[in-house]
Amino acid sequence: MPTIPSTLRATARRVPETVAIKFGDYSCTYAELDAEVDRTAHALSDLGLCRGDRFALMATNSDRYVVAFYAALRVGAVVVPVNPGSAAPELQYLLSDSGAKILAYDLAVAGTVDAARSGFPESLGDIVALTEGSDDLALTSLAAKSATGEFEDVPTEEDNSLILYTSGTTGKPKGALFDHHRTIWVAVGCALNTGQKVGDRFLHVAPLYHAAELCIMLVPGTMVGATHVIMAAFDPVPVLDCLESEQITMMFGVPTMFQFLLRVGLLDRDLTSLRTAMFGAAPMPASAVVALTEALPNVDLMQLCGQTEGGPGGIYASVDQVRARPDASGRQATMFAEVRVVDPVGNDVANGEVGEMLLRGEGVMKGYWNKPEETAATIRDGWLHTGDLTKVDADGYMTLVDRLKDLIITGGRNVYSVEVESVIAAHPDVVDVAVIAKPHELYGESIVAVITLRDGGSMTLAQLQEFCSDKLSHYKIPHDMVLGAIPRNPSGKILKHKVRSGLLV
């Protein structure tokens, strides 16, 4: 089986003149990209980066991100993508936990890198900037002075490729470890599931450090020979401009991105080139899914629902399934994967019941980096225990209703926060919502809705309860309401532990 960098080499030989990357005014062909990756691999090797070493990459989306990513893998290193929005203590933790030998960063995060330097672990060797403009060595300059010619791919499919840190919605992130075999299987499955092909033009606006954008867009897109149109950050109007001007055929975005696009004039744009749009990484309210399908009637809108630990992988819904059941999370497992929904003793749940989603397949992680106990608790008998509570309908649709850790038990009855959040999110004055539990002396837990209102909007607890009264059973209706901002990670997932800590202070 090929490795991640060898697929770039193969594409460069198959379609050398195809444009590989467009970033602002810069563009390069696949032959040029492969040659630049070779030069950068020589530079990294000269710094002492070897097979199995960890290479931390902290950068916003750019052409240099792609070059550094493939070059480190070509050397045989394990890439550790770091959220460029990380604070100094978070960066220190990831470098220490991963045992990174080299940190590469772009100038946009230089301030964070400088603030964190005093706490960098002793295991960290070189610190390099992707481009010139700092006091650190610049990878572009090193590559320009390095040897020319092909750098022979070092890794095999069994070698480790990525440590993808989980979003840390319940605490400190854990590193999900993958080898090339697993990452390639995920890429092949995604290419087949979504119809990726040579000649496609991908828009990369979701962050490349994120498992979804990296593993289901960049890696398979490079494998098939797509053109990667890269934007540094999400801004709805420029994104719409890019979709039009660059004739984008495929994109992935988190739900909030699509909701912003709807608000700034999606209906007024010529998006006839857009064939497939995928959303995932966080739930999208059914009302928003309906609005999106109506706004994009000729686009294959697909929902992807999974976990970083799954490759990322899990379940998905095709365009017809999304239109038929906008409230569901998916209908079947992603390619080369299996899914079960089980009760606490491991039996498959009956239709209409709720259980935990389990995953098994070629793309599931090897385990958590240096965390054998957590690995053993999560992967049991070959099945990844996701912690996602899922309802299975008679027609096979699956809907994530909560995380095991977020289940609310009030008066002895189970309340799934996602169900309540979906109802509240449909209120016209609500921009964002998180539903959590608060200790209650009589009922065990009471239900609290934390709500962000639109500008000029207003709501009282009584009005909220009235809105929910004909949409939820009475015991699921919030007992309390707090107005404020909802903390989310860059993937769009609600940071429930931060919501709770803010509420209980």
- Our CA angle for 392, 397, 400, nearest 5°, is 60
- pTM exceeds 0.95, yes or no: no
Q: What is the CA radius of gyration of the chain?
A: 23
Closest CA to 168 of 53, 309, 69: 309
Cβ–Cβ under 8 Å, residues 246 and 279: no
Which whole number is the average pLDDT over 278-286?
A: 82
> Which of 66-70, 322-326, 335-339, 406-410 has the least mean pLDDT?
406-410
* pLDDT above 70 for 416: yes
Q: Decide: 354 and 311 in contact? Cβ < 8 Å.
A: no
From residue 317, alpha-carbon distances to 54, 327, 334, 377, 420 in Å are 35, 11, 9, 29, 22
- In the chain, the percentage of residues whose pLDDT exceeds 90 is 74
User: What rounded mean pLDDT belongs to the chain?
Assistant: 92
Query: What was the pLDDT predicted at 167?
Result: 62
pLDDT for 491 beyond 70: no
Sign of dihedral through CA atoms 6, 371, 490, 355? positive
**Cα 5 to Cα 8: distance, rounded to the nearest angstrom:** 5
| CB burial string 289-326: b at 16+ within 10 A, e below | bebbeebbeebbbbbbbbbbbbbbbbbbbbbebbeebb
User: Cα–Cα–Cα angle for 377, 382, 383, nearest 5°?
Assistant: 70
Do the Cβ atoms of 33 and 45 come closer than 8 Å?
no
pLDDT on residue 229: 98
Token pair in block for residue 482 = 């707090």
Stretch 214-227: mean pLDDT: 97
Per-residue pLDDT band at 490 (split at 50, 70, 90): low
The C-alpha torsion from 196 through 200 and 203 to 204, rounded to 10°, is 60
Amino acid at 275: R
* Single-letter code of the amino acid located at 413: R
Q: What is the mean pLDDT of residues 244-259?
A: 92
Q: Which pLDDT band, with edges at 50, 70 and 90, does 440 fall under?
A: confident
Dist. CA 385–CA 378, nearest whole Å:
5
State how far the alpha carbon of 259 is from the alpha carbons of 84, 422, 435, 499, in Å. Answer: 23, 14, 20, 22
**Per-residue pLDDT for 417 more than 90?**
no
Q: Give residue 130's Cα distance to chain centre.
A: 23
The model's confidence at residue 171, banded by pLDDT at 50, 70 and 90, is low
Q: Which of 14-23, 181-190, 260-269, 337-346 has the lowest mean pLDDT?
A: 260-269
- Torsion 44-46-51-52 (CA) sign: negative
The residues, any chain, with a CB within 8 Å of residue 326's CB and separated by 6 or more, are 286, 289, 290, 293
Q: What's the maximum distance between 2 C-alpha atoms anywhere in the chain?
A: 73
Evaluate if residue 222 carries a pLDDT over 60: yes
Q: What is the DSSP string of 42-82?
A: HHHHHTT--TT-EEEEE--SSHHHHHHHHHHHHHTPEEEEE
Domains contained in the chain, CATH given: 407-504 (3.30.300.30)
Mean pLDDT of the region 415-423: 86
Lowest mean pLDDT among 159-168, 205-214, 229-238, 319-328: 159-168
Of 206-220, 357-371, 374-388, 470-484, minimum mean pLDDT range: 470-484
464, pLDDT greater than 90: yes
Residue 67 has a pLDDT of 98
Say yes or no to pLDDT of 158 above 90: yes
Check residue 484 and report its DSSP letter: S
List the single range of 33-37, 134-138, 223-227, 499-503 with lowest mean pLDDT: 499-503
pLDDT at 505: 42
The region of weakest confidence among 20-29, 351-360, 397-406, 460-469 is 397-406
pLDDT of residue 302: 95
DSSP 3-state of 247 = coil
Over residues 18-68, the pLDDT tens digits come to 999 999 999 999 999 999 999 999 999 999 999 999 999 999 999 999 999
Bond prior to 312 in cis (omega within 30° of 0):
yes
